[in-house]
Structure 1
């Protein structure tokens, strides 16, 4: 039977402007980034969706390699409707996508964008410039295995669970990487950047091999790592984990995103994170400039994916 969820949780899933997406890595870790769900869900079929572009296709490659994903609905600002509900909602399931969507699917995506992103720019220039960004968009549909709703934004307290029960045992610690567990990029800078952004998400692989996303906060940062405060249910010990710090404004204008993969050591509600890789960007709070940049990055990313054969491999 399809997994369904409550009206209150549905309001959150249907209204949030952005959410965190966690995908698994071949090494047993997780990568977390932000995506636009634009209210796409179907309680009768037990599915939740989000959109991305073939020009930014790395997440699609990860999904094709392992379809188990998690979505974290963690922030209400700039969404649709008036919902002061502070809950942190985690959706876990298996994702699928069509890398060559038909026009009807693209039209459906386009019809849903305006309440969240504002009216699209059109005309001779914009139609051509944004073709890779809008015309090559892909709908990713997640068949839900489990929905977990904690009563607070910090994911504290007793959660409400819809669908499969939570794993009965905590995930075992993972084997340290051969290159060591210490930082490989500037940990102090990573922590300082993350601490000034309002939303910070941590992702790892759980005992049932689905990714989990947890809200966390920076407590310290130095050359040896980033101190984090984590929910009490995050498993103790060491493991590979992804970190995302981000901020956004209305219509996803004025974005900033800082993304890491690395090694996590947890004791109680305190953790130490050693970043191994880093990526990020900061977009100006100007919609025209953002759309110009989106068009350029999507066109370049799509051309690169086609040249390397990655776009064809998704099909």
Structure 2
């Protein structure tokens, strides 16, 4: 039977402008980034969804290798409907068609408008944003489990819909061959993350689905970033991804800082040693943002095609 969920959870799934997406890595870790869910969900079928572009297709490549994903609905600003509190974690298996038909693209456009505004049209914009609008991909997640906490820090009692959560905590992972310590500036990583309002931590759970937890920065130094974590994050060491981000209405002024690294958890605190880092800051002007999105999507799509990554998606 399809997994369904409560009206309160459905309002969050249908209203959030952005959510966190976690995908698994071949080494047993997880990478977490932001995606636009644009209200895509179907309680009768037990599915949720989000959109992305072939020009930004790394997440699609990870999904093709391992379709198990997690989505964290954690930020209420600038969405639609009521500004409910709470944190909702959705876990399931993702699928997508790399070359959607016109009906699917039209559906994406219809769902996007309440969140992103009407698309720019005209001879220039149609050509410039072709890779951004026309090469969009709809990703559908068949839900395995929904976990909802009334508190935004995801601690305390929660409601579970679908498959129960794993009874045993995920076992610690063996350390990487290159060591567990920071490989990029941990103090700077912590400083950047602390000034952004939303922080998410992702790791592989005991049932081999990614899990996402909201976290907060306590302090940071050369040895790592000290985090406050929910008590259900498993103890010990493991590979993990960290995302810090902020955004404005229609995703104007988006800032994102992503890391992969090593996590050591003890109780409700953890030390995170970043191994890699990426990040960007989008312009706070909608026109400039669309110009940048068009450029990045065109460049990313051309590069992906040249490297054969688009063809590999099927």
Name the TM-score class by shorter chain.
over 0.9
Q: Deviations over 1:76-101 (max 9, x none)?
A: 11000123x21100000000000010
Flag structure 1 segments of 5+ consecutive residues without an equivalent.
none
Q: Between 112-121 and 42-51, report the one with greater CA deviation.
A: 112-121
- The SS at the match of 1:241 is strand
Match of 1:163 in 2: 162
Question: Could you say which residue in structure 1 is the equivalent of 2:134?
Answer: 135
Q: Secondary structure at the match of 1:214?
A: strand
Corresponding residue pairs, total: 314
1:22 maps to 22
Aligned to 2:263, what secondary structure does the other structure show? Answer: strand
- Partner of 2:279 in structure 1? 280
Secondary structure of 2:52's aligned partner: strand
Indicate the residue corresponding to 1:40 in structure 2: 40
After TM superposition, the score normalised by the length of structure 1 is: 0.99
1:5-84 counterparts in 2 under 5 A? 5-83=5-83
| Segments ≥4 residues shifted beyond 6 Å | none
How large is the RMSD of aligned CA atoms in angstroms? 0.4
- Number of the residue aligned with 1:188: 187
| CA–CA separation in structure 1 for the residues paired with 2:69 and 2:18 | 16
1:90 counterpart residue number: 89
Superimposed CA distance per residue, residues 92-137 of structure 1 (whole angstroms, 9 cap, x where no aligned partner): 0000000010100000001111100011110000000000000000
Instruction: Note the 1:88-127 alignment, pairs <5 A.
Output: 88-127=87-126
Q: Secondary structure at the match of 2:119?
A: coil
What is the match of residue 310 of structure 2? 311
* Inter-partner Cα distance in structure 2 for 1:192 and 1:86: 26
For residues 147-296 of structure 1, the aligned pairs below 5 Å read 147-296=146-295
What's the TM-score once normalised by structure 2's chain length? 1.00
